[in-house]
Amino acid sequence: MTSPAPAEVEHGFSTPGSGRGILDVFGYRYLLRLLVRKGTQTRYHGSVLGWIWSYVKPAAQFLIYYLVLGVLLNFTRGIENFAIYLFSGIVVVNVFNEAFSNATKSIVNNKALVKKIYLPRELFPIADVFIAFVHFLPQLAILMIAVLATGWAPTAVQIAGVFFALLIVLTMALALGLLFGAINVTFRDAQNLVEIMLMFTTWLSPVLYSFTVVRDKAPEWLFNLYMMNPLTSAVELFHSAFWLPTTVNPVERPPHLWEFGAIGLVIAIVLLLVGQLVFRKLEGRFAQDL
């Protein structure tokens, strides 16, 4: 008679960290939907404006950047339709920032469930990434209205770039969310470190300025490193899809953008594997440290 595998215990329960990680989440799709629904419905609970805040906040953020950088400091540097250029980059950074920040705090925020029952803990950061994507949709709607009003006529390749960019951004956010979310359970300094990191995301990608500023002033190796940043390629793919079709004059685009996007996706996937390994390594201590 064969003895049960070490990872198995009575009644079909599994030891934390002995499952298949993210793959186990597919077996909890119903619970994942509940977590996403709860997160989206309670976001503005008790608020008078409710979901209108999803439109007001990005609009206010755009207005501040546009007036200060575009009008007062003249950061436009000849960028045609600078308002659309600016906003199409902001929405990419916003969805990354929200997904990364919320995923980092997801285990701590759901400590009641983590301490009482066993389920794949990856459910929580993944749910927060989905919630960030849902909150991104109103911003995308505003962007769509703006570009349609200016004669937007994208190609199929440009539209494909939108989905590719979202894949890069959401994968990157989940990867870092798993990594810092696991560390944050034991060391709450992690979420403060993440907030500091997010202060730089808007400036380390071509949201408020053109990529040519970096290309013209940085050495070639540094410019290539800059372009390999997953957020940089994602922002530029959004620029190509939403801003470029609204321009009249020929506009220079980053060379090998899709290749840099592929490199960014590979980096995000590698970080996802690292994040999953660290998450599973620390998962067994979650209930104790919470």
Under the banding of pLDDT at 50, 70 and 90, the label for residue 110 is: confident
Residue 289 has pLDDT above 90, yes or no: no
- Residue 8's SS3 state is strand
Q: What is the pTM of this model?
A: 0.86
What's the pLDDT tens digit per position in 182-239? 999 888 888 899 999 999 998 899 998 889 989 999 999 999 999 999 999 999 999 9
Backbone angles phi, psi at 18, to 5 degrees: -100, 0
Using alpha carbons, list the distances in angstroms from residue 173 to 84, 101, 213. 24, 8, 26
- Residue 14's SS3 state is strand
Between residues 168 and 13, the one the model is more confident about: 168
pLDDT for the residue 58: 72
Q: Decide if 14 contacts 8 (C-beta within 8 A).
A: yes
Give the 3-state DSSP-derived string for 201-254, with helices as H, strands as E and coil as C. Answer: CCCCCCCCCCHHHHHHHCCHHHHHHHHCCHHHHHHHHHHHHHHHHHCCCCCCCC
The fraction of the chain above a pLDDT of 90, given in percent, is 46
Using alpha carbons, list the distances in angstroms from residue 43 to 49, 54, 132, 184. 12, 10, 11, 22
Under the banding of pLDDT at 50, 70 and 90, the label for residue 45 is: low
- Other C-beta atoms lying within 10 Å of the C-beta of residue 277: 14
Residue 10 has pLDDT above 50, yes or no: no
**What are the structural domain ranges in the chain?**
20-289
pLDDT for the residue 16: 52
Residue 7 has pLDDT above 70, yes or no: no
Rounded mean pLDDT, 14-22: 62
Q: Decide if 107 contacts 124 (C-beta within 8 A).
A: yes
Under the banding of pLDDT at 50, 70 and 90, the label for residue 94 is: very high
pLDDT for the residue 115: 79
Query: What's the CA gap between 119 and 113, in Å, rounded?
Result: 9
